[in-house]
C-alpha cells in the first residue's frame, strides 16, 4: 500500500487533540484517525465508521503478514443496513477516496442471472479494473506533465514558425556535445579560432531570436487565438459494425472493436485549429508517448486485486423468501451468480485475468421488506460484518447543514457569491430548516438527509432565480425567511406531495 495517495490530513486535529503529522500517509493512519477523517464529511453513524476503518486498516496489516499466510486472510466484507439518505454510499465513497483505492458503485437490482436479459455480474469487476487503469494512468501523467508541457511548447513553436522549405534542417547528432558539430575557423593574429555556429548564419540567429519572442508571447497567453495548421491522426470508423454476441460474452464486443481499431491504419488529416486546441491535442499525444501503458496496466491490476472496493447497493432488492416463483427465482439466481465473485474467483477483463479474492465488498440496503437473513446462506456467510445505521433526526440535520466540509450551507454560499451577493444563514434559520425537514420525513416517505436538498432548493428558488437581475446584495436566511417561503407548502398536504 505504499503507492497510495497521501491524504490531506495536515493541520486537522486528530481525535486526541494533537495535530496529525503533515507527512502522514494512509498506511500510517490508525482506525481512530480514519474515523476522524470520515467525520469531516459524515455526521453520526459511528458504528459504521468504526467497522469500515477496521476493514481498511486490516488491508494494511495484511500487506505486512508473511506471504504464506497473507493469501489466506480474506477481507472483512460488510453489509450496511439502514434507510435511504443516512450515509451508506457516502461512507464507502469517502473511504475509497481516503485510501486512493479503485472504487465502483453498482446496483444489485440491475443484474440478472445467466440466461436472462441484463448485465452480467462479472461486469462489476471489469468496471473496477477500468477505474483502476484510469486512476494509475492519471497518476503517471501527473509525473510526466512537466516534460509533456515542455515538448508541447516546442511543437507549437514549430507550428507558429515553420522551417523554411528551401533550407531543410540538418541534424547534427552530437550538436550538444560536439564531435560532429560543424565548426568554422577564422584566421586572426593569434592563429585560427573557431566561431560559434549561430554567428555563421545570420538567418538562423534571427530565427532563434524570433522563436524566443514567440515563446515569451506563448507563455503569456497572448497567442491562444492564433490559428495553426497541423496534422491530426484519426482512427478508422467502425460505425454500424455489429458483433455477434452470445451468453456470457458481455463486454467482449467493446474489446473486439478496440482491437480492430488498433489493427486498421490511422488516417492523417490536416486541420486548422487555435493554439489552445493544438495544445490540448499535442499534450495528449505527448502524454501517450511518455506513459508506458503496459506498466500502467500491471499496476492497475495489482491495485484492483489488493485494494479494490466494490459497493453493492440495493442488495435487499435481490433478497426474498426462497422457493417462490416469478421474480423471486431470478433474485435467487442473481445471488448465486454474485456468490463466486464475492467468494473469490478469476474474471476475464480486456486487460487480463483479475482475482477477486481480496477485493473488499461493501453491500448496502434499506431492508424494509426483506431481511439480511432472506439472502441465501452462502452469500450471508461472505458478509460476516453487519452494521445498522441510525435514522437521522432534527439534531443530526442541524449538524449536517453546518459541520461537513461540503455542507449544503457552504455550497449555496459559494453559488450566491459568484453573482456578487452574500448569503447568510443564522443559527435559528438553520434550526428551522432542519425542523421542517424532519417533519416532512415523518409525515411523508423518510428519505433521510436527501430531504435537505429538496427543502433548501425550494427555499432559495426565488433568490437564485432573481439574483442575476437584482445584483449584489446581502441575503439573510432566518426563521422568518424560512417560514415565509416554506410554511405554505409544508401545510398543504397535496402540494408538498409533489414539491417536497
pLDDT band at 12; cut points 50, 70, 90: very low
Is the per-residue pLDDT at 148 higher than 60?
yes
* 230 φ/ψ angles, rounded to the nearest 5 degrees: -140, 160
Rounded to the nearest 10 degrees, how much is the dihedral formed by the CA atoms of 12, 15, 16, 22? Answer: -30
Of 290, 325, 359, the residue that ends a domain is 290
- If one compares 116 and 120, the residue with the highest pLDDT of the two is 120
C-alpha cell at 181: 558539430
Q: What pLDDT does residue 439 have?
A: 86
DSSP state of 83: -
Q: Are residues 158 and 301 in contact, defined by beta-carbon separation less than 8 angstroms?
A: no
Q: Which residues contact 17 (CB under 8 A, 6 or more apart)?
A: none
Same domain, residue pair 95 and 138: yes
Contact criterion met (CB below 8 Å) for 301 and 129: yes
- Residue 311, domain member (yes or no): yes
pLDDT at position 115: 47
Q: Of 183-192, 201-210, 436-445, which gets the smallest average pLDDT?
A: 183-192
Burial class (CB in 10 A: 0-12, 13-18, 19+), 482: buried
pLDDT in the model for residue 106: 87
Q: What angle do CA 331, 333, 338 make, to 5 degrees?
A: 95
* Confidence class for position 170, pLDDT limits 50, 70, 90: low
Would 181 be classed as within a structural domain?
Answer: no
Q: Could you read off the pLDDT of 225-244 as tens digits, one per residue? A: 888 888 887 655 555 554 45
Residues 342 and 236 in one domain: no
Has residue 286 been placed in a domain?
Answer: yes
Domain match, 400 and 455 both: yes
266 shares a domain with 314? no
CA separation for the pair 165, 479 (Å, rounded)? 75
pLDDT for residue 146: 93
Whether residue 346 is predicted with pLDDT greater than 70 in this model: the reply is yes
- Sole residue written with cell 490540448: 280
Question: How high is the pLDDT of residue 491?
Answer: 64
DSSP helix/strand/coil, 309: strand
Shared domain check, 318 and 437: no
- Exposed, middle or buried, 122 (CB in 10 Å: 0-12/13-18/19+)? buried
Whether 284 maps to a domain, the answer reads yes
Q: Does residue 215 surpass a pLDDT of 70? A: yes
Same-domain check for residues 100 and 210: no
405 and 383 inside one domain: no
The residue among 260, 255, 253 whose CA lies nearest residue 238 is: 260
What CATH number is given to the structural domain containing 322?
Answer: 3.40.50.300
Q: Hey, what long-range contacts does 221-224 have (CB within 8 A, 24 or more apart)?
A: 223/160, 223/275, 224/274, 224/275, 224/276
Domain assignment present for residue 189? The answer is: no
Number of separate domains in the chain: 3
By three-state DSSP, how is residue 293 classified? helix
Highest mean pLDDT among 179-183, 196-200, 218-222: 218-222
The pLDDT of 149-176, averaged and rounded, is 71
- Average confidence score pLDDT of the chain: 78
Which pLDDT band, with edges at 50, 70 and 90, does 2 fall under? very low
Instruction: Give the whole-angstrom CA distance, residue 398 versus residue 169.
Output: 70
Q: Is residue 151 located within the same domain as residue 135?
A: no
Residues 351, 429, single domain; the answer is no
Range of the domain at 250: 145-162+200-290
The C-alpha torsion from 317 through 319 and 324 to 330, rounded to 10°, is 60
Mean pLDDT confidence for 34-51: 88
**Do residue 328 and residue 232 come from a single domain?**
no
Average pLDDT over residues 244-261: 52
Tell me if 357 is assigned to some domain. Answer: yes
Residue 66, CA distances (Å) to 4, 69, 73, 306, 358 in order: 21, 6, 11, 15, 16
Look up the pTM and report it. Answer: 0.72
- pLDDT confidence tier of residue 266, bands split at 50, 70 and 90: low
272-292 pLDDT tens trace: 888 889 899 999 999 999 999
Domain termination residue (choose one: 388, 407, 442): 388
Query: Domain holding 445: CATH number?
Result: 1.10.8.60
pLDDT at 229: 86
Q: What is the pLDDT of residue 297?
A: 93
| pLDDT at residue 4 is higher than 70 | no
Per-residue pLDDT at 9: 34
Same domain, 245 and 310: no
Rg, Å, the chain Cα set: 30
Of the two residues 55 and 164, the one the predictor is more confident about is 55
C-alpha span between 308 and 347 (Å, rounded): 14
15 compared with 122, residue with greater pLDDT: 122
Residues 6+ apart with CB under 8 A from 73: 58, 62, 65
- Average pLDDT of 19-42? 69
- Cell 416463483 belongs to residue: 325
Last residue of a domain, one of 237, 266, 290: 290
Residue 251 domain-assigned? yes
Print burial letters for 335-361: b (CB count within 10 Å at least 16), e (below 16).
Answer: bebbbbbbeeeebebbbeebbbbbbbb
Q: What is the pLDDT of residue 121?
A: 84
pLDDT of residue 147: 93
Mean pLDDT of 461-477: 84
Lowest mean pLDDT among 91-95, 193-197, 282-286: 193-197
Q: Is 449 contained in some domain?
A: yes
Q: Which of 73-87, 100-114, 173-187, 319-333 has the lowest mean pLDDT?
A: 173-187
Cell numbers representing residue 413 in the block: 454560499
pLDDT of amino acid 28: 67
User: Model confidence over 356-381: pLDDT tens digits?
Assistant: 999 999 998 888 778 888 888 888 88
* Closest to 7 in 3D by CA, of 70, 94, 79: 94
> In percent, how much of the chain has pLDDT > 90?
14
Q: Which pLDDT score is estimated for 23? A: 36
CA distance 348 to 106: 18
CA dist 362 → 304, 443, 468, 491 (Å): 15, 31, 44, 40
Q: How many residues does the chain have?
A: 500
Same domain, 274 and 155: yes
Amino acid at each position: 500500500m505504499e503507492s497510495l495517495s497521501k491524504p490531506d490530513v495536515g493541520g486537522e486535529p486528530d481525535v486526541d487533540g494533537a495535530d496529525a503529522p503533515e507527512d502522514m500517509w494512509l498506511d500510517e493512519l490508525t482506525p481512530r484517525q480514519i474515523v476522524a477523517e470520515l467525520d469531516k464529511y459524515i455526521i453520526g453513524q459511528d458504528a459504521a465508521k468504526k467497522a469500515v476503518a477496521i476493514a481498511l486498516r486490516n488491508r494494511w496489516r495484511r500487506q505486512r503478514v508473511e506471504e504464506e499466510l497473507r493469501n489466506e486472510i480474506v477481507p472483512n466484507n460488510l453489509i450496511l443496513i439502514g434507510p435511504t439518505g443516512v450515509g451508506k454510499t457516502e461512507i464507502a465513497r469517502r473511504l475509497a477516496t481516503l485510501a486512493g483505492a479503485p472504487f465502483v458503485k453498482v446496483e444489485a437490482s440491475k443484474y440478472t442471472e445467466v440466461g436472462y436479459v441484463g448485465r452480467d455480474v462479472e461486469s462489476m469487476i471489469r468496471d473496477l479494473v477500468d477505474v483502476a487503469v484510469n486512476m494509475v494512468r492519471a497518476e503517471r501523467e501527473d509525473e510526466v506533465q512537466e516534460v509533456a508541457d515542455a515538448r508541447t511548447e516546442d511543437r507549437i513553436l514549430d507550428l507558429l514558425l515553420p522551417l523554411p522549405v528551401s533550407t531543410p534542417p540538418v541534424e547534427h547528432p552530437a550538436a550538444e556535445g560536439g564531435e560532429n558539430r560543424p565548426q568554422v575557423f577564422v584566421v586572426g593574429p593569434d592563429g585560427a579560432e573557431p566561431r560559434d555556429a549561430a554567428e555563421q548564419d545570420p538567418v538562423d540567429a534571427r530565427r532563434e531570436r524570433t522563436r524566443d519572442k514567440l515563446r515569451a508571447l506563448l507563455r503569456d497567453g497572448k497567442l491562444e487565438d492564433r490559428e495553426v495548421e497541423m496534422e491530426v491522426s484519426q482512427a478508422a470508423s467502425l460505425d454500424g459494425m455489429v458483433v455477434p454476441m452470445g451468453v456470457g460474452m458481455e463486454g467482449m464486443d467493446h474489446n473486439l472493436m478496440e482491437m480492430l481499431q488498433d489493427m486498421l491504419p490511422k488516417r492523417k488529416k490536416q486541420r486548422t485549429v487555435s493554439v489552445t486546441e493544438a495544445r490540448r491535442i499535442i499534450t495528449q499525444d505527448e502524454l501517450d508517448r511518455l506513459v508506458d501503458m503496459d506498466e500502467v496496466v500491471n499496476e492497475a491490476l495489482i491495485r484492483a486485486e489488493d485494494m479494490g472496493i466494490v459497493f453493492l447497493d440495493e442488495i435487499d432488492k435481490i433478497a426474498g423468501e426462497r422457493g417462490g416463483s416469478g421474480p423471486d427465482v431470478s433474485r435467487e439466481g442473481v445471488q448465486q451468480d454474485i456468490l463466486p465473485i464475492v467468494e473469490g474467483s478469476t474474471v476475464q477483463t480486456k486487460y487480463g485475468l483479475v482475482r477477486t479474492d481480496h477485493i473488499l465488498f461493501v453491500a448496502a440496503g434499506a431492508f424494509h421488506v426483506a431481511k439480511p437473513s432472506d439472502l441465501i446462506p452462502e452469500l450471508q456467510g461472505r458478509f460476516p460484518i453487519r452494521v445498522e445505521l441510525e435514522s437521522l433526526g432534527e439534531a443530526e440535520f442541524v449538524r449536517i447543514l453546518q459541520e461537513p466540509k461540503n455542507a449544503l450551507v457552504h455550497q449555496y454560499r459559494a453559488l450566491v457569491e459568484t453573482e456578487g451577493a452574500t448569503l447568510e444563514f443564522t443559527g435559528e434559520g438553520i434550526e428551522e430548516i432542519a425542523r421542517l425537514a424532519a417533519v416532512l420525513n415523518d409525515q411523508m416517505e423518510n428519505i433521510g438527509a436527501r430531504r435537505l436538498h429538496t427543502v433548501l432548493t425550494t427555499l432559495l428558488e426565488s433568490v437564485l432565480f432573481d439574483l442575476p437581475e437584482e445584483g449584489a446584495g446581502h441575503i439573510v436566511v432566518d426563521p422568518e425567511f424560512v417560514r415565509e417561503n416554506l410554511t405554505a407548502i409544508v401545510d398543504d398536504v397535496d402540494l408538498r406531495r409533489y414539491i417536497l
